[in-house]
Structure 1
Amino acid sequence: MDNIGNKVVIVTGASSGIGEAIVRKLAADGAIVVLAARRKDRLEKIAGDINASGGKALYYTVDVTVEKQVRELVDDVVARLGRVDVMVGNAGLMAQAPLSSLKVDEWDRMIDINIKGVLYGVAAVWPVFEKQQSGHFINISSVAGIKVAAGTGTVYSATKYAVRALSEGIRVESAGKFRSTVIYPGYVESELMYGSSDEKTREAVIAGYAKYAIPAASVANAVAYAISQPADTAINEIVIRPTSQEF
């Protein structure tokens, strides 16, 4: 697609689901994709597929909750490729449960991945974008960042509302220099459905995905659309739901 070819795009959470779909789509459109996640075997397989089919991909084993690892990832990409054009903050955890179950450890983990993980990416790439005087932040929130699922999704929603606020703050603070896009997926095929330790909630979530979920490629196409716009045009927000999802 126009304006995607040869752009250097870092994608966190790239070992499965939405992240995997994004790197495969952008590589097919000519981007140089950088995969970041914890599962080396999955990253190696996906990057290998892309390179074998004529695309360009690098991969890094990274835990987005460790700021040093994210910073070193970005530094190494710049050293090897000379720039970063797009940072996609996609890594996430959806550990849904009633607030009253007081799963504090899971709250902490979601805050670390869903909020800090995105912030660490911003902190690592912002100076690069400043030097280039160009760049694009794309953050994956959720429909839960627009509407709270009563009874099970309060803390998850809180983290995804935070991603929404962060993305809007990036837009305001970087106006005229960088672009900011936040995407709110509804039921989309991913491993997020398995994140809940609360058995009743987990069963309900999996049933919801079985009923509604659309392919992760739907989000990848939206990411490609946002990147492909001319430099003077920013697609700031995209909501993607299955046509049959009524909430």
Structure 2
Amino acid sequence: MTDAARVVAITGASSGIGEATARRLAADGHRVFLGARRTGRLDALTREITAAGGTAAYRGLDVTDAADVKAFVSAARERYGRVDVMVNNAGVMPLSPLDALRVEEWDRMIDVNVRGVLHGIAAALPVMRAQGGGHFVNIASVGAYEVSPTAAVYCVGKFAVRAVSEGLRQESADGGIRVTLVSPGVTESELADGIGDPAAREAMRAYRAVALPASAIADAIAYAVSQPAQVDVNEIVVRPAASAR
């Protein structure tokens, strides 16, 4: 591993932005450690990366379980000796209007999109402090800056990720730990597949007519990760050029 290479742990790596980020960072020479619930997909992705000359390994992961996230980070450290970058990417998006009262879906979004990020920070922060530095890349959304119908609870989670990221940045300013918030606009992914409310699903289908490839977000993450230690890229918002939102 070269001096510029990193050990990168990625949650939600079985599809979408997480998968694209794993491919991009491995191609850049970083060692990637992948986590998600769908281990079959992780196995296939790991094989593809290693066949292409990259370095990758994986472990099954449920980000809603704090102990499991801690074990995931520990496994990455045991395999590669350190954890330089933690990409908190796992997320769900079962949109619905509030009066649909889909409370279980609200709880799921809070568990994955907020607690999952907090669990990632709790697991990786002590490791990074012990080794003298590190980098958190937290994936939010344009929903961290604006609220739209059917997305109120989803936006609650993304506003929270933005707030936590800024708090972590301020608290870590003199500790050698960098924090980057990446907020994608409409991006090709499986997130919309989990929308159970019919009206919200149809609205999202129209909203997603213009979408970025997941590789565009991976490129933004790669840019932030590649910067020298004295440069902290704090926030990146990436939208389709043809979209006003």
Output the TM-score relative to the length of structure 1: 0.96
- SS of equivalent residue, structure 2 residue 187: coil
Check conservation: 1:25, 1:220, Cα contact below 8 A: yes
Map 1:1-247 → 2, pairs under 5 A: 4-5=4-5, 7-149=6-148, 151-176=149-174, 177-209=176-208, 211-247=209-245
Return the alpha-carbon distance in structure 1 between the equivalents of residues 109 and 98 of structure 2. Answer: 14
Closer/same/farther in 2, CA of residues 3 and 181 from structure 1, 3 Å limit:
farther
What do the CA deviations read for 1:48-90 (whole angstroms, capped 9, x no partner)?
0000110000011111111111111111221221100000000
- SS of equivalent residue, structure 2 residue 57: strand
Check conservation: 1:194, 1:206, Cα contact below 8 A: no
Check conservation: 1:3, 1:227, Cα contact below 8 A: no
- SS of equivalent residue, structure 1 residue 36: strand
Return the alpha-carbon distance in structure 1 between the equivalents of residues 134 and 103 of structure 2. Answer: 36
Shift of 1:3: 6.5
Return the alpha-carbon distance in structure 2 between the equivalents of residues 165 and 3 of structure 1. Answer: 32
What do the CA deviations read for 1:185-239 (whole angstroms, capped 9, x no partner)?
0101101111211011112212222x11110000000000001111000000000
- SS of equivalent residue, structure 1 residue 244: coil
Return the alpha-carbon distance in structure 2 between the equivalents of residues 40 and 26 of structure 1. Answer: 20
Please list every run of 5 or more consecutive structure 2 residues that lacks an aligned counterpart in the other structure. Answer: none
Return the alpha-carbon distance in structure 2 between the equivalents of residues 13 and 203 of structure 1. Answer: 25
Return the alpha-carbon distance in structure 1 between the equivalents of residues 232 and 106 of structure 2. Answer: 33
- SS of equivalent residue, structure 2 residue 182: strand
Return the alpha-carbon distance in structure 2 between the equivalents of residues 185 and 206 of structure 1. Answer: 17
Shift of 1:4: 4.6
What do the CA deviations read for 1:130-174 (whole angstroms, capped 9, x no partner)?
11110000000000111001x211000000000000100110000
Which letter maps to 1:74?
V
Please list every run of 5 or more consecutive structure 1 residues that lacks an aligned counterpart in the other structure. Answer: none
- SS of equivalent residue, structure 2 residue 228: coil
Output the TM-score relative to the length of structure 2: 0.97
Closer/same/farther in 2, CA of residues 107 and 4 from structure 1, 3 Å limit:
farther
Return the alpha-carbon distance in structure 1 between the equivalents of residues 179 and 129 of structure 2. Answer: 14
Return the alpha-carbon distance in structure 2 between the equivalents of residues 226 and 80 of structure 1. Answer: 24
Which letter maps to 2:87?
V
Which letter maps to 2:168?
I
Closer/same/farther in 2, CA of residues 191 and 51 from structure 1, 3 Å limit:
same
* Pairwise CA RMSD: 1.1
Which letter maps to 2:159?
Y
Return the alpha-carbon distance in structure 1 between the equivalents of residues 29 and 199 of structure 2. Answer: 43
Return the alpha-carbon distance in structure 2 between the equivalents of residues 3 and 164 of structure 1. Answer: 30
Return the alpha-carbon distance in structure 2 between the equivalents of residues 92 and 73 of structure 1. Answer: 17
Return the alpha-carbon distance in structure 1 between the equivalents of residues 3 and 85 of structure 2. Answer: 12
Which letter maps to 1:138?
V
